[in-house]
Amino acid sequence: MKNNLIIGAALLTFSLSACHNEPTFQVEGTVSGAADKMLYIEHSGLERVEMIDSVKLNEGGRFDFAVNRPESPEFYRLRMDNKIINFAVDSTETVQIKAQYKDFATTYDIKGSDNNVKIKELTLLQAKLQSQVNQLLQSNMPSGLLQDSLKNLVQTYKKEVIKDYIFKSPQASYAYFALFQQLNGAMLFDPLTNKEDIKCFGAVATSLNNLYPHAERSRNIYNMVIKGMKNTRVPKQKEMTIKEDVVQEVSLIDIPLRDLNGKLHHLTDLKGKVVLLDFTVYAATPSGPRNLVLRDLYKKYASKGLEIYQVSLDPNEHFWKTAADNLPWICVRDPQAQYSTYANIYGVTELPTSFLINRSNVVSVRINENTDIETAIKNLL
């Protein structure tokens, strides 16, 4: 009996030991000026960000996380308050990070792999782009000129990233990271309707599928490329068979669609507000600069009665959810995508297309390239 107990205890000890000997990667370092602050390590998954572990820092700011290694390259992040350091992990490496709380997300030092040095470079480049965009938005440019300036700025940025990061090493984690960078919640690269951007996604997808054919990220980006190639093979005139119809001072036709959380929003329920009804495709190149302009207008006039009801015609639901996640207005999606009945009813022949609806639920303005959107909004408010 005694021997059985000894053997049982030994087996239990071995079992518990085996559970704690799974391969791990290490994330260690210091954060100065962060005494009593909470530091979190999180996994940046395809669908959501998940917290893995946390620690309350002392005056020395020392931290050390051990995390089960991923089966294929994955993305993680350190978060302190709303400040984030992104990094990638391939296997069982040790990632060393030294940072200061004040400039946690930008002035950190990272060691462990070339991928993470490049991810930091991309983060700083994106931060510089964001600063330039903010300066433009604070200027007094007419809306048309502002959109052109924003578009040129984004295109210049993309050319640099494509040359120096994506095509330079498409199999690297930093190339994948570059493809999914965002500007104010909008994707910089369009994998579904822009042929040049689809080539970038295709280069990375091919490399990942060769190296990690069973990885979820490999399958996801491959499917995006297939959909993008299918979309761009369709002649433009067949993408949306809609009759042109100028909408002026007509009764409002309701649009009942669901947002990211599945909540149903009726366009007609917004009576009493001035509504900017916007049909768009987040994956299209003009979407990013356009949403920056809309964000500026929303910030100025939401408190005075402006609402934006933005209808996505993106065929990829996951892409839409990712791109629209940080937008402050009502974001809904029509599952019919380019074959949307509502787009047809409103006479949409190109994207993006917008309308202004007055407080009495009457469509008052169809916005075109000559429309001063801000003046039109103020006239209705």
CA gap 10, 113 in Å, rounded: 40
| pLDDT higher than 60, residue 250 | no
CA gap 234, 230 in Å, rounded: 7
CA gap 282, 351 in Å, rounded: 10
The 8-class DSSP code of residue 69 comes to: P
CA gap 55, 68 in Å, rounded: 17
Question: pLDDT digits over 322-379, tens only?
Answer: 888 889 999 999 988 877 878 877 778 788 899 999 999 888 888 887 888 999 999 9
Q: What number of residues does the chain have?
A: 381
pLDDT at 55 (0 to 100): 97
Question: pLDDT digits over 53-111, tens only?
Answer: 999 999 999 999 999 999 999 999 999 998 999 999 998 889 999 999 999 999 999 99
Question: pLDDT digits over 216-229, tens only?
Answer: 899 888 888 887 78
Range scoring the smallest mean pLDDT among 41-50, 239-248, 261-270, 296-305: 239-248
CA gap 140, 157 in Å, rounded: 23
Confidence tier at 8 by pLDDT (50, 70, 90) = very low
Token pair recorded at residue 221: 């980006």
Per the prediction, the chain carries an average pLDDT of 85
| pLDDT higher than 70, residue 239 | no
Dihedral, 125, 127, 130, 134 alpha carbons, nearest 10: -130
- Is residue 38 within 8 Å of residue 55, measured between CB atoms? yes
CB atoms within 10 A of CB 258: 13
- Across residues 7-22, what is the average pLDDT? 47
pLDDT at 298 (0 to 100): 95
pLDDT at 51 (0 to 100): 95
Question: pLDDT digits over 33-53, tens only?
Answer: 999 999 999 999 887 889 999
Q: Could you tell me if residue 124 is left (phi over 0), alpha (psi between -120 and 50 degrees) or otherwise beta?
A: alpha
Whether the predicted model's global pTM rises above the 0.85 cut: no
Question: pLDDT digits over 305-315, tens only?
Answer: 999 999 999 88
- Is residue 221 within 8 Å of residue 205, measured between CB atoms? yes
Q: Which of 332, 285, 289 is nearest to 308 (CA)?
A: 332
Percentage of the chain exceeding pLDDT 70:
89
Q: At a CB cut-off of 8 Å and minimum separation 6, what does 161 contact? A: 122, 125, 178, 181, 188
Confidence tier at 17 by pLDDT (50, 70, 90) = very low
pLDDT at 96 (0 to 100): 96
pLDDT at 15 (0 to 100): 41
Instruction: Report, in angstroms and rounded to the nearest whole number, the Rg of the chain calculated over CA atoms.
Output: 25
DSSP 247-278: --SEEPPP-EEE-TTS-EEEGGGGTTSEEEEE
Confidence tier at 185 by pLDDT (50, 70, 90) = low
Higher pLDDT, 252 or 254: 254
- Across residues 18-28, what is the average pLDDT? 77
Token pair recorded at residue 31: 């954060």
For the ranges 133-137, 249-253, 286-290, 330-334, the maximum mean pLDDT occurs at: 330-334
Higher pLDDT, 178 or 190: 178
